[in-house]
Structure 1
Amino acid sequence: MTGMSDDLSISFELFPPKTDAGITRLGDTVSQLSAADPTYFSVTYGAGGTTRDTTARVVEMVAGQTGRPVAHHFTCVGASRAEIDRQAEGFWENGIRKIVALRGDLPEGETVPDDGYHDAAELVAALRKVGDFDISVAAYPEVHPEAKDAGADLDHLKRKIDNGAARAITQYAFDTDTVLRFIDRARAAGIDAPIVPGIMPVANFGGLKRFSEGCGATIPDWLGQMFDGLDDAPDTRAMVATGVAAEQCRRLIEEGVTEFHFYTLNQPKVTLAVCRTLGLTPDIPAEDAA
């Protein structure tokens, strides 16, 4: 393990809580995560911009609290091009330089309006016209659920990169070979930008299964077996989750990966334990005795 952390770069995704109390708790989470020395944080954006004000508030809070860059997630569904452009100009005027550009989920039965940006590639191009943002986009090792096929999905990723995105962050995938094959296919397709694996520490297996059904991520049988019966055993569940995520990172590091993006779900414990396993040495807060 010695030296494993020397070239590693990590980032942490947060989501905006729904209450003031939740935002206060998030401040403590951010303090704990900062000990792992992340390159940046990112803050998600609700479907159709439903958390726009809260996302902006959390971005400002995290930036002020940590002094680290914070990437503002930004979606384009449910708004006209003029509205999106105005929001992008507002980001630039407020000093936001990092963006995670996503199309966003379309409400069931709805289509993108004619006067809107139709996909993330168009959104990236629009952002580049506003300012020299540092833009990340999404990539899908198991293929986006709406893509015609894997080739079309890669073509779209290449459009996003060619339009000005700096890197791609992958949807989580628990089969590490799937992630590695995806990176190989992306390179063969002429995508040279960094591809950063998204790592999902398992906080709640039932919730993970429900979420994964909607985003097209596969839950392997072996993962279900590992978490079976642990609903009421949080300490053991955390240990298993740490082992799963750390082993995936280790394998990816062996194949030359040096950047990881952790989907923390605002729960720092397992993410910090994984960072420890990888040779990073964040301060771990004292735990109450049982």
Structure 2
Amino acid sequence: MSDATLEDPKPILRRWLSGERVGPLPVRSAEQAPPKLSFEFFPPRTEALEQQLWTCIRRLEPLAPRFVSVTYGAGGSTQARTHATVARLVQETSLVPAAHLTCVGATREEVDDVARAYWDAGVRHIVALRGDPPPGTEYAPHPGGYPYAADLVAGLKRIADFEISVAAYPETHPSAQSPDADLDNLKRKLDAGATRAITQYFFDTSVYLRFLERCLAAGISAPIVPGIMPVSNFAQAAKFSAMCGASIPPWLGQMFEGTEDDAEIRRMVAAVVAAEQVRVLQANGVDEFHFYTLNRPDLTYAIAHILGVRPLRKLA
């Protein structure tokens, strides 16, 4: 892939936001199919947040995503809420749920029991992760548990023929010894039976495209689905990115300068940045994207619309 295909959205965004009519560049061309989308939700902690989650789900359901994933808190802290949310998705929606499942803080038998319960409930897709330890602690495998995600993938495939997604890190997992070691770990997860990898979010398209080249060179042929996180709160995104190792290009901060007191402009910037990011990746042959919704539907819905995704049915 030539670097000539990698676009810095900063100039076009500045012109667009200044009111210059440069055309709807993030919109797909007439011959280009809309992208395939999937969405991530997190389980609610309170009744109010549960209402917010289900408002989000109902808003995005008509877009017919390929699947929707439900996260699992640090140290397995949201296991019951994750299971309840996934069960309700099966029972009350047309969506295909993918339940996050981790190695942290549980024996193999306990993890296997959760997996069997998902299978019995009709869940056929698992997002298998090592998982994060509780805040302020280092990861240590449970003495009776699955040590790492590759072991979890192999264990799940012994239980049932799950479709399994795993995580990939274009900018390297923070605890990995090196980029090559991290890539070797991804290959182990896929060789153990995973169907695809979903990446940590990133903002520089060249980061993902170069990572994809490294994956291909390492003999990885499974889909590497880019994770997209629309940013409407730049300060919050910068803080979280510092913890998870996602770099923030200077132009992104510049796009949000002076918008601290203008939520509407922030949402406009977020929508155009994410849509342009997807458009550039589409131009490089990528056609599937996983959106981290943060349980906020409107921004994700707007980006999907810009990209040509239309609801299969009218919203109620």
* Aligned partner of residue 167 in structure 2, secondary structure: strand
- Counterpart for residue 265 of structure 2: 236
Task: Indicate yes or no: 2:150 matched with 1:121.
Answer: yes
Q: Residue 229 of structure 1: CA displacement?
A: 2.5
CA distance in 2, matches of 1:261, 1:112: 28
CA distance in 2, matches of 1:114, 1:11: 34
Task: Indicate yes or no: 2:93 matched with 1:66.
Answer: yes
CA distance in 2, matches of 1:35, 1:204: 26
2:100 maps to amino acid: H
Residue in structure 2 matching 1:50, options 77, 80, 89:
77
Decide whether aligned partners of structure 1 residues 39 and 5 sit closer, same or farther in structure 2, where only a CA change above 3 A counts.
Answer: farther
Q: Residue 5 of structure 1: CA displacement?
A: 5.8
- Counterpart for residue 224 of structure 2: 195
Moved more, 100-109 or 140-149: 100-109
Moved more, 85-94 or 261-270: 85-94
Q: If the length of structure 1 is used for normalisation, what is the TM-score?
A: 0.94
Q: Residue 110 of structure 1: CA displacement?
A: 5.1
* Aligned partner of residue 235 in structure 2, secondary structure: helix
Q: Over residues 169-211 of structure 1, what are the superposed CA-to-partner deviations in whole Å (9 max), with x where a residue is unaligned?
A: 0001101001000011101101110110000000321221121
For these two proteins, the number of residue pairs brought into alignment is: 286
Residue in structure 1 matching 2:119, options 92, 100, 119:
92
- Counterpart for residue 218 of structure 1: 247
Decide whether aligned partners of structure 1 residues 110 and 185 sit closer, same or farther in structure 2, where only a CA change above 3 A counts.
Answer: closer
Q: Which runs of 5+ in 2 are unaligned?
A: 1-27
Q: If the length of structure 2 is used for normalisation, what is the TM-score?
A: 0.86
CA distance in 1, matches of 2:138, 2:163: 33
2:282 maps to amino acid: I
Decide whether aligned partners of structure 1 residues 109 and 253 sit closer, same or farther in structure 2, where only a CA change above 3 A counts.
Answer: closer
Q: Residue 3 of structure 1: CA displacement?
A: 4.1
CA distance in 1, matches of 2:98, 2:139: 28
- Counterpart for residue 102 of structure 1: 129
Q: Residue 284 of structure 1: CA displacement?
A: 9.4
- Counterpart for residue 33 of structure 1: 60
Q: Does the Cα contact within 8 Å between 1:4 and 1:279 map onto a contact in 2? A: no
Q: Which runs of 5+ in 1 are unaligned?
A: 286-290
| 1:262-277 correspondence to structure 2 within 5 Å | 262-277=291-306
Return the structure number with greater relative CO, CA threshold 8 A, min gap 6: 2
Task: Indicate yes or no: 2:152 matched with 1:140.
Answer: no
CA distance in 2, matches of 1:119, 1:4: 43
What RMSD in Å do the two structures reach over aligned CA positions?
A: 1.8
1:252 maps to amino acid: L
Percent identity, please: 52
Decide whether aligned partners of structure 1 residues 157 and 57 sit closer, same or farther in structure 2, where only a CA change above 3 A counts.
Answer: same
